[in-house]
Structure 1
Amino acid sequence: MLGSYGQPNNQPLFGWILVAKDVSSTSSALKKPLDYTLVWNSASVKVSQDSPGYVWLPKAPDGYKALGHVVTTTPDKPSLDKIKCVRQDLTEQCEAYSWIWGTGGDSDPNSFNFYAVRPSNRGTQALGVGVGAFVAQNGGTNSSLSITCLKNTNAISKSMPNLKQIGALLQTYSPILYLHPDEEFQPSSVDWFFSNGALLYQRGKESNPVKIAPNGTNLPQDPHTDGAYWLDLPADADNKERVKKEICKVLNLMYM
């Protein structure tokens, strides 16, 4: 194991976590931690919980890095065999990006927070690989992290297209849509739609739609709820027209 997985407990399980096995001839890619540091526990937190949770940060040997935390339900330190640290040259800098939970509310930078992490350098030539773990720390997303991500040692193939080539491919082969001047439903990007008025409706609760988070984290995750939820524009006429007109403005800017 490289780290424990974490997510909000008001959603079905939807994430993933990588595990690793050392197949190198020297067996030096992975090593056990030397010790653990307790970074946080929920024993004194006044929230509904089945049992207290204890979050531990592995202390990596020299030349190695921790890629995640270990979570236990007792104050006893975990076994040193519970997790592995990764050789430093196989790791890459990562960053906190998606808030999971915190003691002070939604990503309060003055409180203790749990975040999902991802490689800091991302793109077609980037080598960082997220392991699906979380980071637990005081502060917000700008705080320096105590863990890292994996690093792909094999460079991205030179046969992969660069951004300029990808742009040329899209320009050549992307479909062209012609919309009628009276078309009521205009296209927009998902991010823009979520941030500018899209609402999540639930069958039986149509009068109480929910605003969608910009990154979509509060969208239903259960695959067995087909037909129970749908997305739509704001219910009131003024806001509905506002979003429609803003979409048209965005489209005009895109095609100018």
Structure 2
Amino acid sequence: MSAFVRPIVGRKSWLGLLAAGLGLAVGLGQTIDTVLSTGLLEPYSVAVDRNNYLITDSAQNVIIKLSSDTGITTNFVGFASFERGTNDGYGTFARFHKPRGLLVVPWETNLIVADTGNQRLRRVGLSGADNGKVETITILNTSAENRFLSPVALALDNRTNDIRLYVADEQTRSVYRVILTNRTEAIVTRLSTNFFRPRAVAVDDSGRIFVADTGNNCIKVIDVSKPGNPVNIIAGSGTPEGFGFKDSPDGKQALFDSPVSLLWVGGNLGLLVGDERN
């Protein structure tokens, strides 16, 4: 497993570590061995909620809670027996099928999960009476163009008052904007299909959308401020054959080999990339 981090903007930082092979971002003071020693079989993504890490275990179809204070893991939602399903409900009564991407919406104290195998998004409450309650998010503008087939990664736009997400779908080769109109309903807009196996997405402080175009060994940016949402390569070759390892001040001269995870840190740190096969 590779855990190599490539900074696109600014210098390398150990405030966050991206384990590229797992799509895992681990906070300060944690190590990959610490996470893997907890009995997880296929950890894919992690989000931070106060003093806890919430981790998708795609193989066991569950969301695991890992305490940063004690290192103890608990089964938060889903049933860790490889049993898959679509049931909504509390805790272990809920079911998932290969959950992958997830993120915390801090001002709503809830978790959004890309339930990849079920081709949908799920909401999970994180406090009060909603703690551990799983609900399916219904897409209001259903059409073939706006239908998920394999949603794998999520990013939150922190600049807006509404809950605005960006979703990378590996099978449709697309990135979507999702705006929640209430806690369990959303409007979906496909922004671009100009990708080959996109597996990560991130949003910077100005609203630029970065995409790890894994199959094309590059990082792209979507400019939603312009008509047609043009997509441009900012780093990497942009072809399946153009893989390798090369750093360069000119991003387009740099080389990646299956970039699979992104973390926007901002400031002098910029964008970190998990470069899986390097």
Q: Same fold (TM over 0.5)?
A: no
The structure where helix makes up a greater share of residues is: 1
Flag the structure with larger Rg.
Answer: 1
Quickly name the TM-score band, shorter chain normalised. under 0.3
Superposition TM-score, scaled by structure 2 size: 0.22
The structure where strand makes up a greater share of residues is: 2
Superposition TM-score, scaled by structure 1 size: 0.23
